[in-house]
Amino acid sequence: MAYGRSNAKPMETTHLGKVSALPASPEAAKLDYVPNPRPESRYLVRFAAPEFTSLCPVTGQPDFAHLVIDYVPAARIVESKSLKLFLGSFRNHAAFHEDCTVGIGERLFREMAPHWLRIGGYWYPRGGIPIDVFWQSGAPPADVWVPDQGVAPYRGRG
C-alpha cells in the first residue's frame, strides 16, 4: 500500500512493495497512478531514464536513449516503480525512436491526465546520426518553473 499525506487513504498499487517481473511488452505493462499529495499546488515532476533501451524494428539491434519526462500533475501522479517497469518493457520492443518517445508521452498523458507533460528522447547514434525526439501536450503552464532538460547535445569525440 502506498500513502500520500498522513490523512490520505491507503492506495492499492500493482507493484509498490511487491516483487514484480518486467512486463513482456509496453502494452502489457500496468502503470499505477496515485492521488496527487499536493493537488492545490502547481509544480513540476521530472523523471530521467538515462539508460532506456528498445530494439530497432528493422535490424533487431539495441537502441539506447536518455529519456527525460516532465509533467505538472493534476489529480494524480504516476507511481515510479510502475513507470520504471513500463520503461523497462521496451527492452525487447521493436519500434522506431519516434514511436517509442511519442508513444510513452501520449500514454502517460492519456492515463494520468496531468495539466501538462513533455518528453525528450535523446537517442544515441546508430549509423552515425543521433536522433532527438520531443513531444509535449501543449504550451507549458505560465505559473510553473520548467527548467531545461539538461541533456547535452551529442558531440561524439568533440
Distance, CA of 115 to CA of 138 (rounded, Å):
9
Signed CA dihedral, 3, 8, 9, 13: sign only: negative
* Marked catalytic residue, from 32, 63, 70, 100: 63
Consult the annotation and say whether 115 binds a ligand: no
Q: Give the CA radius of gyration of the chain.
A: 16
63 is catalytic: yes
- Per the residue annotation, which of 56, 70, 132, 148 is the catalytic one? 56
| Angstrom distance (rounded) from CA 134 to CA 120 | 5
Q: Please write down the HEC assignment for all residues of 129-153.
A: EEEEEEEECCCCCCCCCCCCCCCCC
15 annotated binding-site participant: no
56 is catalytic: yes
What is the helix (H) or strand (E) element at residue 106, kind and residue range? Answer: helix 97-112
User: Sheet holding 62-72: strands in order across?
Assistant: 45-55, 62-72, 116-126, 129-136
Tell me if 93 is assigned to a ligand binding site: no
Half-sphere exposure of 124 (CA within 13 A, CB side): 13
Residues marked active site are found at: 56, 63
- Binding-site positions for substrate read 78-80, 97-98
